[in-house]
Structure 1
């Protein structure tokens, strides 16, 4: 048994942050050998029961904060080298940068190299689980899954389906793309900590036949994920209306093809109406909020107030390479700023604990993995980060003055970046 002593952050079932300035976290393998949290709370209350055990190995981390590993609900690993490319908007950005780069992922050795760097970057930034786009090439999925498996990471990923309105090199074939998807599901889904995501790029780049086939696979394999984009950009929405005139809305396209259900995640969800939001709730479909990407591409702002009124699930995402950073702190910063900007008249101010929850336990819940990842409550897999709240002179000065948990978390959100992460710890399987 491993016993950590440090400040400790975790979350109650309702999303309330729980904090111990002198905390104890006990980790031990379960019956299958996977490391899980056994106990979490104050050192004073728990140390006699756990730290005194003969098999306990105590790691004391004075001045540090143990927190759940971050969960990134939407990211494109093949766009690692597209990050920071200038663009006039979403569609030109795809045409000039993204598609030419993704065409290179037919080469397994090239995909392996990017996958290794991508996962190193996730871990350096404290991200322990991500829902990840690959490309239309099966080799790109094999590369990211094999690299994640070697690290013991929980990874959700899938081959992109796009059989039209895409250039040579990234366009797949309708039937073969679906065959490849099923082959990859059978190869990777449920192996160690890996999960497969059926991944239509977005409605304009899939024919109705391909989306129908994707929906059939989603019905055949109900425990896999569905991952795509919706209602990110007004030009994109007009394009969908032209291609699918029978659909009530962009979101309705996916509903018509059986692609909305629990474990379905749609990135952005900016331009939804009230009927769409009700549909998200009713189908238990989740939104991945990507504020740095939305700012970079001038797409618009996610409406937190209407999402909460409708009661559907959501969580935060970097959306690299449209997003501007792998760092969850940069994402939380942007979410706070755009939330204030959009809802200033209503007086909305996203609480620091809620922002942090959106990138950990809230994101896990939205993915259908609540109580498994994204938290440090008993029973959770032991993915976590060691945070140094004093990694710069300014942050050390600011956090030392914090009188409340909100002040401590907000200082790190506003002033933080990847340097806050002193260590990322992955739950090990024995």
Structure 2
């Protein structure tokens, strides 16, 4: 299995075999992560010889991923569908960015762009679920269960079907219709492979339902942070792409700040892990972007915890938000998200629903880019971030658009 050495508890530090299909750390009930033998990787594949930029998917990072597409033993488990290798769009003409002289870029995980990779379900969730499906196949797991606000379930269904796995998806009834319809259609067409349970009002209740009714029947949970670090390893590719050399260049580098819409927070941990590994391999130094986590003001557990100096979030009452991926009232990995925010000199920011809607509409009118509500939330946070001195003139800032507004129709049609 490439260079994966073990799985380790994030808080406890206890190490376990990476061949063990475990969920949370039995020591403290917190998440675990995969640990790579970076010294051996550096010795056996020096000068980043593992890097294959000619690939147009997330597997371009070879042995730095938890499964190496160039190794036939690993490749047999993969279900590559083109995920990752998405573009950085120049957004320096955004009115707020232009006025503040920011070098703003948008990492577009939604609609496909010619010459780049393409997330098959138009969501950054495909990065994590591509790794989940591959690792499940490696360990011989065939029945996976996921609670979701929408996109993660849609993504897992796509990879499960491609990889010969069975999946049960639990999601709220108010999941955007294109997402819910996609999963429901798969469940109708392949009833032996896909099951849909409508449980809500949020991912929290959906997870409790699966834990009570499916996990005891032998279904393996791949809920956020509750698989053994697999989704982090997939999302890690996002951080690697933000650091990789531009075409024609050789230097790895990072932006000054990353604005990231944060629900459960897997992507935050993945990006941070990617950069720690690149530093260990001597490709970047210890400097990190300010991590600026954006949530909707109606469901903002991370913002509350950050503002009060708490070490972890407490569960909040969920509201109703256009950005359904942000409607996460609490998370088992939020303690680590808060650590990363603080270590980076960043912040957690709440944006109002009206500002998300206005930004989505104005971005569409200006660019015709299919920015998701979560991506619009990041752009809507720009004035606050500037007012608080968290962004400065001349800085390279990356906002992450995690999906396509096409998947949120018809709820957003009036804004486009």
TM-score of Structure 1 vs Structure 2, range by shorter chain = under 0.3
Greater relative contact order: 1 or 2 (C-alpha under 8 angstroms, separation 6 or more)?
A: 1
Q: Which has the higher strand share?
A: 1
TM superposition score normalised by structure 1: 0.23
